[in-house]
Structure 1
Amino acid sequence: MSESDVEKPETRTVNPFLKMALELGPIAAFFIGYVRLKDTMFTIGGTEYEGFIVVTAAFIPILLACTAILWMLTGKLSKMQIVTAVLVVLFGGLSVWFNDERFFKMKPTMIYLLFGGVLGFGLLRGESYLRVVMEEALPMQEEGWMILTRRLCAFFLGLAVLNEVIWRTMSTDAWVNFKTFGLTAAVFLFFMTQSKLFQTYALEEDEGAE
């Protein structure tokens, strides 16, 4: 059987603004909900819940719905999106079940430790697992992938430590701002600062087609 006989998965394009709305919408909804309800107490089933817990409970189905819509529109989900959804359900669910906001605050730590750990494991084996998931979107030489993977591994582990420091030593308001704006900005700035690396190790068009 030749490669041409193998049916390739359908590639669907989606409006980039819609895609961004589906990816960032749940985070924005969480922030807005928290700002509006943070000082409100809710009594549900005889148990009092702070606004943070109620907003967390609402965030879970919103994220899952947006993830499902994104999957239906594009026909695929990245491993990062799948892992994030699972950890949101797990740690968000624990926060709601035990009425304890600390579980949800630990979620970014677990996400970044997991991603950093996976990349680090690949580096120990002399491989770039990052290349496996990003090679089509970002063709680079092998050396470039190894450098980017080492940097991203350290970056993820640094974010995990930073999240722990912030939620354990600062107010919930500070943590929500960090989660909503700080983490998003940090990831954006990280990739912006890698532009020279991308240019240095970029594959030529004819080389990438071989």
Structure 2
Amino acid sequence: MKQNPMLKLVLEMGPLVLFFLANSRPALFRPLLAPLLPEAMLEGEKAGIFAATLVLMISVVVALFVSWHLTKKLPVMPVVTCIAVIFFGALTFFFHDDLFIKLKPTIVNVIFGSVLLGSLAFGKLLLPVVLDSVMNLSQEGWRQLTIRWGVFFFVLAALNEIVWRTQTTDFWVSFKAFGIMPLTIIFALAQVPLIMKHEIKEEEEAVGSRD
């Protein structure tokens, strides 16, 4: 069963919105988080980011479960993202250092970019798997789209590094919650001409199969 695009967007944006809210208003989430975090982590100047990190960890697991319940499958990107959030979130709490959750987007995007571009060297096209796509494109179309998405993931990684290293934690949280997704949507829309150019129509498939 294919997931509704709007529901998919909600499941992707929901954890990010909660991440932003928990960072800016940690007191609202304190009753929920108090049994799970030491009291020292819910106070002081880093209370927001620690609360936000735990809220993000919980919400991505819930979103992934809802996605699986509705479609009976687990898309690659949400699964990798969920694992990364849990792993880097755990490191954040273990070392009491928000550096790890800030590094998560960088490392995940580098992994996706490396997998996509590296797969081309072996003649593999993994973009349909990574994006959970059902588009029907020519080999050249998939190759060009893979290169573009691979480079884009590296750009996102570089942007994350620039933002967390030069801006405040609050600014970085806002960028993660409300900056990365719009950039990704704009980039995806910019690929429509390429997709339309290389899309294989059903009629063309039928002719090719008869030949």
Which bin holds the TM-score, normalised by the shorter protein?
0.7 to 0.9
Identity of aligned residues (%): 36
Alignment-derived partner of residue 35 in structure 1:
24
Give 1:7-22 correspondences, 5 Å limit.
12-22=1-11
Alignment-derived partner of residue 121 in structure 2:
124
Superposed structure 1 runs of 4+ greater than 6 Å apart: none
**Is residue 174 of structure 1 aligned with residue 155 of structure 2?**
no
Runs of 5+ in structure 2 lacking a partner? none
Structure with more of its chain in helix, by fraction: 2
Shift of 1:13: 4.8
- Partner Cα distance (2:4, 2:110) in 1: 32
Is 1:92–1:104's contact at 8 Å kept on the other side of the alignment? yes
- Partner Cα distance (1:99, 1:128) in 2: 40
Farther off after superposition, 46-55 or 98-107: 46-55
Give the TM-score, by structure 2 length. Answer: 0.84
Residues 172, 134 of structure 1: CA spacing in aligned structure 2 closer, same or farther, 3 A cutoff? closer
Higher relative contact order, chain-length normalized (CA < 8 Å, sep 6+) = 2
Residues 85, 208 of structure 1: CA spacing in aligned structure 2 closer, same or farther, 3 A cutoff? farther
Is 1:23–1:67's contact at 8 Å kept on the other side of the alignment? no
Farther off after superposition, 134-143 or 62-71: 134-143
Shift of 1:128: 1.8
Alignment-derived partner of residue 101 in structure 1:
98
Letter in 2 for 1:107: K
1:199 pairs with one of 185, 196, 199: 196
Give the TM-score, by structure 1 length. Answer: 0.85
**Is residue 80 of structure 1 aligned with residue 77 of structure 2?**
yes
- Partner Cα distance (2:144, 2:185) in 1: 18
Runs of 5+ in structure 1 lacking a partner? 1-11
Instruction: Count residues with an aligned counterpart.
Output: 198
2:40 pairs with one of 27, 47, 66: 47
Provide the alpha-carbon RMSD of the alignment: 2.4
